[in-house]
Amino acid sequence: MPDYKVYYFNVKALGEPLRFLLSYGNLPFDDVRITREEWPALKPTMPMGQMPVLQVDGKKVHQSVAMSRYLAKQVGLAGADDWENLMIDTVVDTVNDFRLKIAVVSYEPDDEIKEKKLVTLNNEVIPFYLEKLDDIARENNGYLANSKLSWADIYFTAILDYLNYMTKSDLVASSPNLQKVVDNVTSIESIRNWIDKRPKTEI
Amino acid sequence: MPDYKVYYFNVKALGEPLRFLLSYGNLPFDDVRITREEWPALKPTMPMGQMPVLQVDGKKVHQSVAMSRYLAKQVGLAGADDWENLMIDTVVDTVNDFRLKIAVVSYEPDDEIKEKKLVTLNNEVIPFYLEKLDDIARENNGYLANSKLSWADIYFTAILDYLNYMTKSDLVASSPNLQKVVDNVTSIESIRNWIDKRPKTEI
């Protein structure tokens, strides 16, 4: 079995899909959590000076979605054929677009600009994405692709806390089908065990 | 052979990787170019109200990177195993991050903010990404992953005109290894034929 290490800050955010997928497959991993003090010295050792980073048998890789897809294949959560994988990839990239649209407002440093952007985000962007994603989850019977569990469901559920943190809301509260996706993922025993034992962090 | 349609505006930009990949595989496709006048009526028929959209035997899909990965598998430009695919996915997502960092400045509507952002983009972001990507291309002997042709090279070369347009520059002019990637892709006969016959557009 390969030797896995996840390098990230002491937050869930973009590292959590990796931790969920490794936990799902019962693949032991070293959950390395870097402090803000340690980071400047470590930064140059990371592929693009960023984290999360996954280390597989000593080789460091980056890009959270690419790493998640790779791990999904190792734990049996990829699609059964090219078309199923396209359905998974499409919805994951859409979830990621949604995250970026939230993040660009959440991290806006200028208060005045932020207020203006928040109006569009809350009145247009969030309702649009939630409706589309909830429709997809409804059409797929409580999953995000191919009417069965895949890494798309894991990815969405694992970063949802981060999306909720940035939007100061419970995004799936009024999206019953997305709530079902979350329930389907968090009722998996290996995932529940991970959630129970992981360090408690706000983000 | 499936019936392929590419729906996009009359630009290269995010639709061009799809057109390159289909051309590479000599897969006939309907290159549908929507005018700004036609778009409002068509928008609701597209999965997320956006283009490019790929239609495969009547089924419409979206997300340019996901579609490119799917087409790559159909034309033999995916990796040979999970690790090779991870290397490809990682560099494609990095190229896409680079594109987004350029786009956020290029599409900034406020001139004053744009001027400020342009300084960081030109002095920090662009040199950083070009150096990293050129290093990758050097380590992989003129390719972006696994020292051989893959859809990562096609993706980069196909969107380079768009990146150059947004930055008003020739991004690979001082990056000899990235120039080699472009040369390797554009010297493929099926790609050269496509470039020769495609509609001439600025973007």
Closest CA to B15 of B194, B149, B179: B194
Does B86 sit within 8 Å of A70, measured CB to CB? yes
In whole angstroms, give the CA distance from residue A79 to residue A175.
25
Work out the percent of chain B whose per-residue pLDDT is above 90. Answer: 98
Distance from CA of B120 to the nearest CA of A (A): 15
Rounded mean pLDDT of A182-187? Answer: 98
Does A93 sit within 8 Å of B66, measured CB to CB? yes
In whole angstroms, give the CA distance from residue B90 to residue B149.
15
Rounded mean pLDDT of B67-88? Answer: 98
Distance from CA of B88 to the nearest CA of A (A): 9
Chain B residues whose C-beta sits inside 8 Å of any chain A C-beta: 48, 61-63, 65-67, 69-70, 73-74, 82-83, 85-86, 89-90, 92-94, 100, 104, 132
pLDDT at A74: 98
Does B93 sit within 8 Å of A63, measured CB to CB? yes
Backbone φ, ψ for residue A150 (5° rounding): -150, 180
Under 8 Å between Cβ of B141 and B147 = yes
Does A48 sit within 8 Å of B94, measured CB to CB? yes
**Within a 13 Å sphere around the CA of B24, how many CA atoms are in the beta-carbon half?**
28
With H, G, I as helix, E, B as strand and everything else as coil, classify residue B64.
helix
Distance from CA of A106 to the nearest CA of B (A): 15
Closest CA to A98 of B17, B63, B16: B63
Rounded mean pLDDT of A101-122? Answer: 94
pLDDT interval class at A1 (50, 70, 90) = confident
Distance from CA of A197 to the nearest CA of B (A): 29
pLDDT higher than 90, residue B1 = no
Average pLDDT of chain A? 97
| Domain limits, chain A | 4-76+190-197, 82-187
Query: Which of B93, B95, B117 should we substitute to test contact with A (largest number of A Cβ atoms within 10 Å)?
Result: B93
AA identity, residue A132: K
Residues of chain B in contact with residue A83, where contact means CB-CB under 8 angstroms, are: 70
Residues of chain B in contact with residue A132, where contact means CB-CB under 8 angstroms, are: 48
Q: Which residues pair with A61 in a beta bridge?
A: A54
Query: Taking each helix axis from N to C terminus, what angle separates A189-197 and A16-24, rounded to the nearest 10 degrees?
Result: 130
**Gyration radius of chain A's alpha carbons:** 17
Q: Let me know if domain A4-76+190-197 sits in CATH 3.40.30.10.
A: yes
pLDDT interval class at A120 (50, 70, 90) = very high
Residues of chain A in contact with residue B77, where contact means CB-CB under 8 angstroms, are: none
Does B63 sit within 8 Å of A69, measured CB to CB? no
Cα B22 to chain centroid, rounded = 13
In whole angstroms, give the CA distance from residue A152 to residue B29.
29
pLDDT digit string, tens, across residues A158-168 = 999 999 999 99
Closest CA to A158 of A5, A29, A39, A13: A13
Under 8 Å between Cβ of B167 and B106 = yes
B8's tokens:
């996009």
Under 8 Å between Cβ of A68 and A17 = yes
Backbone φ, ψ for residue B97 (5° rounding): -60, -45
Does A132 sit within 8 Å of B90, measured CB to CB? no
With H, G, I as helix, E, B as strand and everything else as coil, classify residue A34.
strand
pTM: 0.98
A33's tokens:
């959590």
Distance from CA of A156 to the nearest CA of B (A): 17
Rounded mean pLDDT of A74-102? Answer: 98
In DSSP notation, B97-143 reads HHHHHHHHHHT---HHHHHHHHHHIIIIIHHHHHHHHHHHHHHTTSS
Query: Which of A65, A71, A93, A112 should we substitute to test contact with B (largest number of B Cβ atoms within 10 Å)?
Result: A93
Rounded mean pLDDT of B14-37? Answer: 98
Average pLDDT of chain B? 97
* Count of Cβ atoms closer than 10 Å to residue A86 Cβ: 23
Does A48 sit within 8 Å of B70, measured CB to CB? no
Q: What DSSP element (H or E) covers B41?
A: helix B39-42
Distance from CA of B89 to the nearest CA of A (A): 5
Q: Which fold has domain A82-187?
A: Glutathione S-transferase Yfyf (Class Pi); Chain A, domain 2 (1.20.1050)
Does A86 sit within 8 Å of B61, measured CB to CB? yes
Complex prediction ipTM: 0.97
